[in-house]
Amino acid sequence: MADLLGTIGAAVGVFAGTNVDDIIVLTVLFLSARANGRPKVWQIWVGQYAGIAALVAVSAAAALGLAVVPDRWVGLLGLVPIALGVRGLVKARSGGGDREPPVVASGWWSVAAVTVANGADNISVYTPLFRTIGPAASLVTVAVFAALVAVWCVAGAWLGSHKRVVALVRRYGHWLVPVVFILIGTLIVLESGIIL
C-alpha cells in the first residue's frame, strides 16, 4: 500500500511539475472557445488527452530503449506553437477592425500538437521515470496522468470563464493569444538547448 501511495504521489508531482505551463495554454484555448467558438470545448479535451498520450507513448518507447530522437532535438517541437502564434498575428493584423481573438488552434489535432510541443520537455522527465519504476508502477503513473489531464482541463476552463479575463481577451486577445503561443514556443526551443 505504501508503494502504491508513493507511486501516486510521485506521479502527481511529476505531472504537476512538467505541466504547470499547460494551465496557461488551456486557459487561452478555453478563452478562445468562449470568445469565438473555436476550438470547441470537446476538441480542447480530446486534443489535450491525445497530446499527453503521445508524450507518454514516446517516453515509454524511449524507456524501452527505442530512443527515436535525441532529447535536444525534441525542442524543435516548439516551432509548432510559434507557427500557430505567427499565423494568429498575421490574421489579427489583416483583420483590421475585427476584435475577436484569433483562433490559434482550430481542431483537436492542433490542440494536441500544441500540447505535444509545449510538453516536449516532459519526454526527458518521463523517460527515465518509466525506465526505473517498472511496468506496474508505470501503469499506475499513466492512470494518475489521465486523471490529472481532466483536472488541468477543468482548471483551464474555470480560469477561462471569469468575466474579466474573457473581457480582457475580447479586447486585446487578437494580439495577446498569438503572443502567448509564440512565447511558449520560444521558451520550448530555448530550454531544449537546440540553438546552442
Place of cell 483583420: 95
Ramachandran region, residue 96 (left: φ > 0; alpha: ψ -120 to 50; beta: rest): left
Ramachandran region, residue 105 (left: φ > 0; alpha: ψ -120 to 50; beta: rest): beta
Band of residue 101 on the pLDDT scale cut at 50, 70, 90:
very low
Q: Higher confidence at residue 111 or residue 190? A: 111
What pLDDT, in 10s, does the model give residues 140-164? 999 999 999 999 999 999 987 877 7
Whether a cis peptide bond, with omega within 30° of 0, leads into 39 is yes
Asked whether the whole model's pTM tops 0.85, one would answer: no
- The grid coordinates of residue 193 equal 538547448
Which letter does DSSP use for residue 95 in this model?
T
Mean of the per-residue pLDDT values for the chain? 79
Ramachandran region, residue 65 (left: φ > 0; alpha: ψ -120 to 50; beta: rest): left
Place of cell 522527465: 125
Q: How long is the chain? A: 196
Alpha carbons 117 and 110: distance in angstroms, whole number: 10
